[in-house]
Chains A and B, each alone.
Chain A
Amino acid sequence: MNRWDRIRKGVIFSFKGGVYPEEHKSAHVFPSHELPFPKKLVIPIKQHSGVGGEIIVSEGQHVGAFEPLTASNSPMAIPVHAPLSGIIEKIGPSLVPHPSGLAEMCITIATDLPAMQVKYNNPNFPLYQMENPATLLDHIKNMGIAGLGGAGFPTDIKLRSSVNPNNPCELLLINGAECEPYITCDDRLMCERAIEIVRGIKIIQHILRPKFTVIAIEENKPQAIMAISAALNEEHCEKARVTSIPVKYPSGAARNLIKIITGIEVPYQARSSAYGVVVQNVTTVFAVGRAVLLGEPLVKRMVTISGDSIRNIGNYWAYIGTNVRDILNACGFTPDENPRVIIGGPMMGYTLPNANVPIVKTTNCIIAPRGQELKRLKPQVDCINCGRCAKVCPARLIPYELHDYCITEEHNLALKCGLKSCIECGCCSFVCPSAIRLVESFREEKAKIKAVKRKEEKLKIAKERYAAKRIRVQEEERLRAERKAQALAKAKALAELKKSQKDNTQEDATRALKGAEKDAAIAKARADAQAKANTSSKTNGDTK
């Protein structure tokens, strides 16, 4: 059986490492709900990985629902939109969901009453089959779609790199693994909106023209598997299959998923598109479908609200910009002493320092655990070299070694040990019997290396500027010396001319003039040489 047959038949491979945390996925049984209508929405202008766009609205202005709020020509900047119509109340920095409580530029909208909503019309392409992929990709960008699985990488860029005859997409991999505990929004979405997801898949198929499409779903979601399979039939989506994969964390990480489905290990230094595989999250695909077919930008998403401190756990449709605190209160949040509010899953998420922050595009889950429901970290003791961390690392790193280099700030050794390949999945910290904060140290080290690099770059720019300036100054000096020499020669020639005029012989005069020219040339050469000597001695002096 060759690789393609295996992919088509749904034969799966396995990857080394990974852990089996408790699943806590009870929220998946409840159908999704709408949250109470928000009175105020706070939209951070940058919600993806990349740069924020420029704000194209002003305070006091009335915006319609779905109206773009930012715009930019930069490919890494994708716009944000108004989820609901209302008046722009404030444009300014405000708290965003971030582990250290960052404040970033946000646009605050005071929403109109539900009955007074007005809609802004974006273009849509119900007959996308007739469209050029480039048009659709631009539209996907304009609708503000970024990877909703976690990192928030602009979707259009990811797709664009595979719309390339030299590097075509062979396999489209739709990621419905959802391997993190607690999170069930993808599961719910697949159960409830299977048809729309499959429509989204068809649009991406139209853009990428892959040989085959695999929708990978962990086998603990039988309903979702059934729903998507049925939808594939119903929508006549060909060359596609649902492959159920074993439950293991982190099988939803892109590279591990590729390994499971194709058996290929894409190195962390390479992009998966170079290997002919494009991975998209189901929620992203759903958003693409709505954007292309209905012209609806990414302004609403499903969020899992779970944890024992929440009375009504479940999956909720939340507008981007809705306040997390309001959501928690609406779901019946009863904090215990030392409450934790975790954004994202328990493995890769982070605790919020302040719940007064908005939901953003990449927020897939909010967990408010109670007591020891999620074990609080034990005090750290020394590493006993047991090697458990290395055994579970899906990136095949050796965390305990890496940790040593990270805490001693051996940047180069840490990089050599594969720090860059660490996906911060948390498996190593999860199993460590000494409760060593491995992942934390890796994150810090990454930040430190970034800072060092930035500093070096700045230094390099400054050096370059300095060098350029010196060359310019030298050039000026040389020119000046040249001019001086020319002037001197001219003066000399003139003097000679005068002399020769005294002699009154025409021939002499021309000869003298020639001689003067020669002199001038010699003088110029000398000046050049001197300038050069100057430079070299200066540089020598510098290097010393």
Chain B
Amino acid sequence: MSHTLYQEGAPHDANVSSTGKIMRLVIYALVPAIIAHFYFFGWGIVFNLLFCLISSLVTEGIILKLRGHSLNRLWRDSSAALTAVILAIALPPLTPWYLTIIGCVFAIAIVKHAFGGLGHNIFNPAMGGFVFLLISAPLPMTEYIEAVPNNYLNVTAPRAISIIFNINKEQNLYNAYNDAYKHVITRDDADTFMANFDAITGATFLIDAKHEQPKNNVYSFIKVRMMDLSNYTFFAHLVISSLFLLGGIALIVFKVIDFRIPLSFLLTVIIIASICYEIAPNTYLPTLYHLTFGATFFGAFFILTDPVTAVPKPIGAVIFGIIAGIIFMLIRNFGGYPDAVAFSVLLTNACAPLISILTKRREFGAKSHPGDIYER
């Protein structure tokens, strides 16, 4: 036996988990919500995903090469793909193509790699890219599609593509609107539809509610709007939010993410929202609306829990979630932006290193003393 023996450090065995696997599991957990999104909002999400994935992966690949890493990191850590998917879901479904691409390039190149790449970035790349777009192009970034059943039949692939590339945009939007009208007619009355939708796209419910806030008219606004729509908008968002919630719970059950951040975040949101609603129901939305509309669950389970930009220590994670919840509610109820996930995530990310340094873990045997064995 004259073989040279191979040497390595202990331990010699490893768990099956890998960074790439974790990221891919997160992506899989998003799939149900994406399908629901497709059903309610049409083909826009598909093209968002496509553009985001391509531009993110290409950017990531170029930067990896420039930094002298091998390209198989693309698959091995899969983090660029996750960023792309999160951004694709966060963006309005018919975002112009150049905005999508700029957002992705910014997210990957500036927010992630300029800070040192995966593991060193301070801010969540997807949210960084989103906020960048929101600030630079506020109008297209607040134009969402109205929720209509089987919307993929109205906002079809050719229509979506031409809207995204701004070819015959008005005509296509009108066609989609017409089709939607026909679809709704078959199952509901036409008047309410006409009264509420003057186009297939429009501001989100949260934005509309925000406009009512200065008039102290939120409560009656909800009443009117919800009655008229046969609660369809609400229903659509409820379904999507529930799917985010289910996906998040699955991730917790499979130990991909820790329960502390989502739980503390959601509890904080629920507490603050309830208090505000109790005090001034005409100015602030009810708690349930805060949870269903916007990206509350999406943010709680999929964005805040991005390990790189969160705090992994148990107590630190709870503090992190609470701070995020407070900022989130402050922006939603008192700030100018109706959906507060992106900003609250970025602001809390900025606190994370400090929280991490300031929280300590109880040492093993911290409180024991030699007489313990005689203890009653």
Contact = CB atoms under 8 A, between A and B. Distances in A.
Interface of A: 2-3, 19, 21-22, 99, 170-171, 181, 255, 262, 264-268, 270, 274-277, 325, 328-329, 333, 335, 338-342, 346-355, 367, 369, 374-378, 381-388, 390, 394-398, 400, 418, 421, 424, 426, 429-435, 437, 439-440, 443
Given A270-B370, A340-B12, A433 B22 contact: yes
Contact of A421 (B11, B21, B364): B364
Given A387-B258, A387-B313, A424-B10, A431 B370 contact: no
Given A381-B76, A430-B14, A276 B364 contact: no
B5 A348 contact: no
B301 to A, nearest CB: 15
A433 B372 CA distance: 38
Contacts of A418: 363
B217 to A, nearest CB: 45
B56 to A, nearest CB: 17
Contact of A328 (B1, B19, B22, B79): B1
B224 interface: no
Interface stretch (B32-40, B115-123, B145-153, B288-296): B115-123
Contact of A347 (B8, B11, B366): B11
B13 A2 contact: no
B364 A383 contact: no
Interface string B1-28: 1010111111111110111011000000
Interface of B: 1, 3, 5-15, 17-19, 21-22, 73, 76-77, 79, 117-120, 258, 307-308, 310, 312-313, 317, 361-368, 370, 372-376
Residues of A contacting B: mostly: loop
Contacts of B120: 382
A384 B373 contact: no
A340 B13 contact: no
B12 A349 contact: yes
Contact of B17 (A2, A267, A390, A433): A433
A138 B182 CA distance: 98
A268 B9 contact: no
Contacts of A430: 11, 13-15
Contacts of A262: 372-373
Contacts of B310: 385
Contacts of B22: 384, 386, 433
Nearest to A21: B13
B1 A385 contact: no
A388 B10 contact: no
Given A342-B12, A374-B13, A434 B307 contact: no
B11 A265 contact: no
Contacts of A350: 9-10
A530 B375 CA distance: 65
A35 B370 CA distance: 46
Given A398-B361, A440-B9, A386 B307 contact: yes
A266 B86 CA distance: 46
Contact of B77 (A267, A381, A396): A381
A395 B363 CA distance: 8
A267 B19 contact: no
Contacts of B312: 385-387, 390, 400
B13 A267 contact: no
- The CB with the most chain B CB atoms within 10 A, among A275, A376, A385, A424, is that of A385
Contacts of A421: 363-364
Nearest to B77: A381
Given A347-B13, A387-B258, A433-B18, A264 B373 contact: yes
A2 B3 contact: no
A438 B375 CA distance: 38
Nearest to A273: B370
B362 A267 contact: no
A353 B364 contact: no
A382 B119 contact: yes
- The CB with the most chain B CB atoms within 10 A, among A387, A429, A430, is that of A387
Contacts of A255: 364-365
Contact of A335 (B3, B11, B308, B368): B3
A19 B15 contact: yes
A270 B365 contact: yes
A435 B360 CA distance: 25
Nearest to B73: A381
Given A384-B119, A385-B119, A431 B15 contact: yes
Contacts of B1: 325, 328-329, 333, 335, 355
Contact of B364 (A21, A267, A387): A267
A432 B11 CA distance: 11
Contacts of B76: 381
A266 B368 contact: yes
A491 to B, nearest CB: 70
Contacts of A352: 5
A267 B368 contact: yes
Give 6 nearest A-B pairs by CB, closest first. Answer: A387-B312, A267-B365, A426-B11, A382-B119, A265-B365, A386-B307
A396 B363 contact: yes
A342 B15 CA distance: 18
Contacts of B12: 340, 342, 346-347, 349, 351, 367, 369, 374
A276 B11 contact: no
Contact of A383 (B119, B361, B366): B119
B40 to A, nearest CB: 33
A434 B119 contact: yes
B279 to A, nearest CB: 37
Contact of A351 (B5, B258, B375): B5
A275 B14 contact: no
7 contacts: A3-B376, A255-B365, A275-B368, A339-B3, A352-B5, A431-B15, A433-B18
A354 B308 CA distance: 41
Contacts of A424: 10
- The CB with the most chain B CB atoms within 10 A, among A22, A265, A421, is that of A265
Given A267-B368, A348-B10, A351-B5, A385 B308 contact: yes
A274 B56 CA distance: 59
B18 A435 contact: yes
